[in-house]
Structure 1
Amino acid sequence: MIKNKPAFYQSAARIKLLTKYPLFIVAVFTFGCSEHKAPDLQQSELAPGGTMTVKRLKRQSYIHPGAAVTGMQKLNFWTGFSFFRDPWVASPSSTKSRDGLGPLFNTRSCISCHDAGSRGPMPAVGESMPSLVIKLGLRDHFRNISDHTPVLAEGLSLVDPNYGDQIQPRGILFRHPKLEYAPKGEALLELSYQAVSGYYSDGTAYELSQPKYQLTNMAYGDLAPHIGMTPRFAPNIFGAGLLDAIQVDDLLAQEDINDNNQDGISAKYNRVLNIATGKIDIGRFSLKAKHPTLAQQVGAAFRNDIGITNSLFPTESCTESQVICQKTALLGEPLIETLHQQVPVEISDKLFALVVSFNQLLGVPPARNLAQEEVLKGREHFYQMGCQQCHTPSYRTDKNYPVEVLANQLIWPYTDLALHDMGEKLADNVVEDDANGQEWRTPPLWGIGLQKSTTKQQRFLHDGRAHSISEAILWHGGEAEAAQRKFTQLTSSQRKNLIKFLKAI
C-alpha cells in the first residue's frame, strides 16, 4: 500500500504500525542496557520544523519556505532571497539597491557561502573559497580568567590593530584620482592537511584530516602577537527562524557551567551584546554563539563578508592602518539614510528586513525513514551514547514570538545552542566574548543527511575538516570524549545504524 509513496509518508505509516503493536516498540527500545534510554518515537519527529517543515524534499536545494508560509510572507521570502542570491556591486553604480560592495570583502553574495541554503564549496588545497572565513581574536593565554569570567590582559585589544576581526582577501577595483591605488585585499589563505590514523575497537581502520592554516600575501604586516586566527566554515541556515524563536528560559534551563549534576557536560551560554537593545543577551548564532538574534547574525555577515553596512553595523570594517580602505569608503556614494541611525548605510532597513525574513522563513526538511528497523537501532545508540546531552532533541518555540508561523511550534533541531569544551584537537585557542579557545556551539543536526545529495558534497565541524558524520564524531573531545569513545566501541553494524539515524533526522 505504501511502497510507491515518499519516504516521509512511509515513515508515518510505520509509526502507526508500531503504535498498533506496542510490544514491538518494547523489543526495539530495550536493545542494550544504558543509563540513557531512548524515549518512544513520536509522530512529531517526522516533521522536525513543525508546520515549518517543507512538504516535499527538494533534492537540489534547502531553499524553500516552510509549509505554513503563505501570501505576503511568501512574497517577502522570495524578494529577500533575491538579495541573498544576487551579487552586490561596488558603489556608485546604476544598480542603486545592490551597490556598496567592499571596500574589502570576502564574497559578493550570501549564496556563495551558503550554497543551496547549506554549506558552500570547501576549498581544496591551494584554492581559496569564500565559504571558509578566517576570523581573528585574542589568544586564550593573553586573557586572565577567574570564576569563568574573562578579563582582558592590560593593554591588549580584542582584535588585530591592522586587520580587525576578520581577514578579507579581496578589494574592489575602484579607480579615482584621489586614490593612489585600489584597496588591497588583506591576505590569502594557504590550506594543507595532515593525515591522522586510528582504529575502532573492532580493528577497523579510519583516517582523519588535520588542517593547517597559514596566511600569505599579508598586505599590512604580521598579525599582532596576542592575536590568533580561527577558521569558520559557513553553516547551514535553514530552520534559523525556529532557533531564534526558542525561549531564553528553555535554553538557560540547560546551563550547567560547573557540572553540578556531575554528568560530565558543562553547558554554557555565551553572553554577548544585543546591538538592537544595547543589553547583554545569550548568544545562539554563529559557530561560537557570537550573536543573540538572527537579525544581528545577518547584519554581521553583510558587513563583514560583503562589506554592506546596515543599521546594526553602520561602519565599514577598515582599520586605522588601512588608509586606502578608509578613503575609498568616503568616496563611495552613501545610498540610504536609515531611520534608526543618523548615518548613511548601504542597505535600507526595508530591504534588510526582507533578507532577515527570508532567513526566518526557510523551512526544515522532513525526516526520512525514521521507523526503519536499522534507524530505530541507531536512534537507540544515539541516546545510549549520551549524544542528546548536548544535541537536545526538541523544544516548543515561544508562543509569543512575533512571527506567528514560527511561534508555538514543536521542533526537533538536536542542539542546545550552548558552548561546550570540545577538546584540544578542535581548539582554535581564540577568545570570543565568553567562549574560550576550546568551546564551540552545538550545531543543529536536522537535515544534515541531505547535504551530499543537495550540494554534491558534505563537510562537517566548524572548519569543514570532516568529510563524513563518522569523521565528525571521531574528532569529538573534551566534554564529548565519553560519547566519542562509546562510538569507537560500537560494532560496524551498530556504527552504520547510528549514522543512518543521523542521516534520517
Structure 2
Amino acid sequence: MYLLHRLVVVLLACATTLYSAPQNALEFNSVQSPRAAIPVFSELELLPGGQATASRMVKRTFIHPAGNIPTIEQLDFWDGFSFFRDPWVASPAITSDRDGLGPLFNARSCKACHNDGGRGRLNRSGELASSALLFRLLKSDGVGVDKHYGGQLQPNAIRLSHHKLTKPVIGEGKVRVEYQILNGTYPDGSAYSLRKPIYHLEQLGYGKLEINTVLSARYAPAIYGMGLIDAISEQDLLSQQDLEDLNGDGIKTQYNMVINAQTGQRQIGRFGFKGLHATLEQQVAGAFVNDIGITNLIFPEEVCTDVQLMCRKAASVDPQGTLDIPKKLHDLTVYMNKTLAVPKARDLTSERAQQGRTLFYQLRCNSCHTPTYKTRSDYPIAALQGQQIYPYSDFALHDMGAELADQGIENLASGNQWRTPPLWGVGLQKRVQGFEAYLHDGRARTLEEAILWHGGEALQIKQHFMTLSAKQRSAVIYFLKQI
C-alpha cells in the first residue's frame, strides 16, 4: 500500500519555495489544494487504455489494434490502415480508390505526418519545414480566413496535364525553420538549454498574407488512443470547466466550443492543438481535405481560395459531386483511427516511477493533466465502452504564456491558449521512432524541455519543478516515460 500524501498550495505569491521531506514528499506553507490528494496507486494504471490497451508492442511502430476488438473486426482495422498508410495520387488515375490528391496539399498520405502512428521527423535548423510540421493561418482578431491562402498553408501542388489547365497549379509557399538556443540554469546550478523556433515564409505563390494573418505551427501528434478520447462523455469534461478559477488553484479550465460539421450543434472541441474539432470523425475528415486535398462526406469542397484560379480549375476536372474518398472507405479509415491501441505502461511500479508519481501530484501537474476517466457505456464501438482509461489530460484550453503564444484566435482559443495534450505513451517516442520532439510545434527536444517551456497558468508549477533536486526532477521525467 502506498502512503497518501497531501499537497497544500502557496497562499502568498512570494511563498514559492519547496523543500524535501521524508520519503521524498514536498510540503507547502498554506492551505490545501483542491487537487492535492494523491490517489492510491491502482493496477489499472498499467493498462492506460483499459481492456483496449495494446496486447503487445512491436518496437518500431504504434500501429496496433485495440486489444479487445474481435478478430473479424481487426480486418476492418487493417483495411482502414491501408488508406492511412498508402500515398494518394492526382485524379483522374487508374487507381480510382486512391486518386483525388490535391490540387494543393501538405502530404500524400496520413503516414507522412503521423509516422507509424506517432510523430514525424522534424527538419534541422535552416531547412524547410518537413511535412510533419504544418502551419495554420489564423487571424489576430479571429474573424474569417486569409483571402489568398485560406486557413492553412499548403506548400505542394499536383502536376496535372489537362485541357482545362492553361497554367500549372503552384503551391502556396514554404516555411524555413531556424532554431535559437536559449541557455538557463536551475536554482541548484544545473544548466539547461531550450530551442526556440523562428519561421520564415518563402516562395509565396499568391501574394502576401493579409496584414492580420499569423502563422501557427502545428506538429502532427501521435494518434493512438484517439477513439477512447472520443468516447469520454462531454459531461465528464465540462464538469472540469472553471472559467473563473472558483476552486482557487490558479488554473482557469476552458473548453473550446466548436460547431460539429455533421449536426450543426456546438460541442466541446477535444481534438487538435486548439480544440478545433468536436469528434474524431470530423478530425480525420478535416485532415483529409486540408492536409491531402481529399474531399469527403463531411468536407465535400476543395479548399482553393477565389484567387487560386488554377487550383479551382484542377478541382473541376473531377465530375461534379464526386467525392475523392467515398463514405465506405472514409468510415474504414475513421474506424482504424478509433481503434488504434494505447501502449501498455512500462516500469510504473518501480520505486523511482512511484517517487515521480508522488511528485507529479504534489506539483499539481494533474490540475491540467487529469489522470483518468471512464468512457461512455453507449459509445458506438463496443470495445471502447466503459473503459477505465489514463490519458492524463483534461483536453481543455489553458493559458501557456507568451513564449508559446501564436498571436491568433481560433474559435474561443486565444493566442496564449493551447489544449492539454494526453501523456499516455509519451515516453515511447524515442524507443519506437528513434527521436524525440514535444509541444505543439516540436520545439522541445526532451520532456524536461517541454516542462521548462510551461508558462502562464502553469508558471508556478514549472517554478516548483525547477526547485526540485536533480534526483527528484529525474524521477518526475521517469514517471512520465512509464505512463
Please give the TM-score of this superposition, normalised by the length of structure 1: 0.89
Equivalent in the alignment of 1:131: 132
Query: Aligned equivalents of 1:128 and 1:421: distance in 2?
Result: 26
Query: Aligned equivalents of 2:368 and 2:334: distance in 1?
Result: 27
* Greater alpha carbon shift after TM alignment, 297-306 vs 28-37: 28-37
Q: Secondary structure of the residue that 1:344 maps to in structure 2?
A: coil
Equivalent in the alignment of 2:345: 367
Counterpart residue identity of residue 96, structure 1: S
Equivalent in the alignment of 1:473: 451
Residue deviations 1:442-486, cap 9 Å, x none?
A: 000000000001111110000000000000000000011011101
Query: Aligned equivalents of 1:24 and 1:129: distance in 2?
Result: 46
Instruction: Show the 5 A alignment for 1:391-430.
Output: 391-430=369-408
Equivalent in the alignment of 1:209: 195
Equivalent in the alignment of 1:153: none
Equivalent in the alignment of 1:65: 65
> Normalized per residue, which structure has more helix?
1
Query: Aligned equivalents of 1:218 and 1:24: distance in 2?
Result: 58
CA contact (8 A) 2:138 2:213 kept: yes
Residues paired across the two proteins, number = 462
Query: Aligned equivalents of 1:177 and 1:363: distance in 2?
Result: 47
Query: Aligned equivalents of 1:185 and 1:232: distance in 2?
Result: 19
Equivalent in the alignment of 2:180: 194
Which one of the candidate residues 229, 238, 243 is aligned to 1:243? 229
Q: Secondary structure of the residue that 2:267 maps to in structure 1?
A: strand
Equivalent in the alignment of 1:45: 45
Sort the Cα spacing of 1:25 and 1:224 in 2 relative to 1 into closer, same or farther, 3 A. closer
Instruction: Show the 5 A alignment for 1:247-262.
Output: 247-262=233-248
Q: Secondary structure of the residue that 1:258 maps to in structure 2?
A: coil
Query: Aligned equivalents of 2:162 and 2:326: distance in 1?
Result: 26
Q: Does 1:463 align with 2:449?
A: no
Sort the Cα spacing of 1:94 and 1:49 in 2 relative to 1 into closer, same or farther, 3 A. same
Query: Aligned equivalents of 2:454 and 2:309: distance in 1?
Result: 43
Q: Secondary structure of the residue that 1:41 maps to in structure 2?
A: coil
Q: Secondary structure of the residue that 2:266 maps to in structure 1?
A: strand
**1:31 deviation in Å?**
2.7
Equivalent in the alignment of 1:99: 99
Equivalent in the alignment of 1:12: none
Gaps of 5+ in 2: 7-20
Query: Aligned equivalents of 1:170 and 1:30: distance in 2?
Result: 53
**1:193 deviation in Å?**
1.1
CA contact (8 A) 2:128 2:174 kept: no
Residue deviations 1:155-213, cap 9 Å, x none?
A: xx421000000000000001123312220000011111111111111010111011111
Query: Aligned equivalents of 1:50 and 1:371: distance in 2?
Result: 17
Sort the Cα spacing of 1:331 and 1:202 in 2 relative to 1 into closer, same or farther, 3 A. same
Sort the Cα spacing of 1:323 and 1:137 in 2 relative to 1 into closer, same or farther, 3 A. same
Query: Aligned equivalents of 2:418 and 2:3: distance in 1?
Result: 41
Equivalent in the alignment of 1:31: 25
Sort the Cα spacing of 1:432 and 1:29 in 2 relative to 1 into closer, same or farther, 3 A. farther
Q: Secondary structure of the residue that 1:123 maps to in structure 2?
A: coil
**1:85 deviation in Å?**
0.1
Which one of the candidate residues 453, 473, 485 is aligned to 2:463? 485
CA contact (8 A) 1:208 1:471 kept: yes
**1:24 deviation in Å?**
11
Counterpart residue identity of residue 452, structure 2: L
CA contact (8 A) 1:29 1:38 kept: no
CA contact (8 A) 2:3 2:40 kept: no
Equivalent in the alignment of 1:232: 218
CA contact (8 A) 2:4 2:38 kept: no
Q: Secondary structure of the residue that 2:335 maps to in structure 1?
A: helix
Equivalent in the alignment of 1:291: 277
Q: Secondary structure of the residue that 2:199 maps to in structure 1?
A: strand
Equivalent in the alignment of 1:9: none
- Identical-pair percentage: 46
Query: Aligned equivalents of 2:415 and 2:372: distance in 1?
Result: 28
**Structure 1 residue runs of 4 or more that deviate by more than 4 Å after TM superposition:** 22-30
State the Cα RMSD in Å: 1.6
Equivalent in the alignment of 2:110: 110
Equivalent in the alignment of 1:312: 298
Residue deviations 1:364-422, cap 9 Å, x none?
A: 11111111111111111100111001000000001111111101000000000000000
Which one of the candidate residues 396, 405, 425 is aligned to 1:447? 425
**1:25 deviation in Å?**
10
Q: Secondary structure of the residue that 2:355 maps to in structure 1?
A: helix
Query: Aligned equivalents of 2:27 and 2:183: distance in 1?
Result: 31
CA contact (8 A) 1:189 1:214 kept: yes
Q: Secondary structure of the residue that 1:345 maps to in structure 2?
A: coil
Query: Aligned equivalents of 2:86 and 2:22: distance in 1?
Result: 49
Counterpart residue identity of residue 230, structure 1: S
Q: Secondary structure of the residue that 1:331 maps to in structure 2?
A: coil
Query: Aligned equivalents of 2:196 and 2:348: distance in 1?
Result: 33
Q: Does 1:75 align with 2:75?
A: yes
Counterpart residue identity of residue 333, structure 2: V
Query: Aligned equivalents of 2:118 and 2:22: distance in 1?
Result: 34
Equivalent in the alignment of 1:6: none
Equivalent in the alignment of 2:12: none
Counterpart residue identity of residue 174, structure 2: L
Which one of the candidate residues 467, 472, 475 is aligned to 1:494? 472
Q: Secondary structure of the residue that 1:213 maps to in structure 2?
A: strand
Query: Aligned equivalents of 2:54 and 2:427: distance in 1?
Result: 15
Query: Aligned equivalents of 1:258 and 1:183: distance in 2?
Result: 49
Residue deviations 1:120-160, cap 9 Å, x none?
A: 11122213311100110111xx36xxxxxxxxxxxxx4210
Residue deviations 1:325-346, cap 9 Å, x none?
A: 0001001356xxxxxxxx3211
Q: Does 1:353 align with 2:331?
A: yes
Q: Secondary structure of the residue that 2:27 maps to in structure 1?
A: coil
Q: Secondary structure of the residue that 1:211 maps to in structure 2?
A: strand
Equivalent in the alignment of 2:11: none
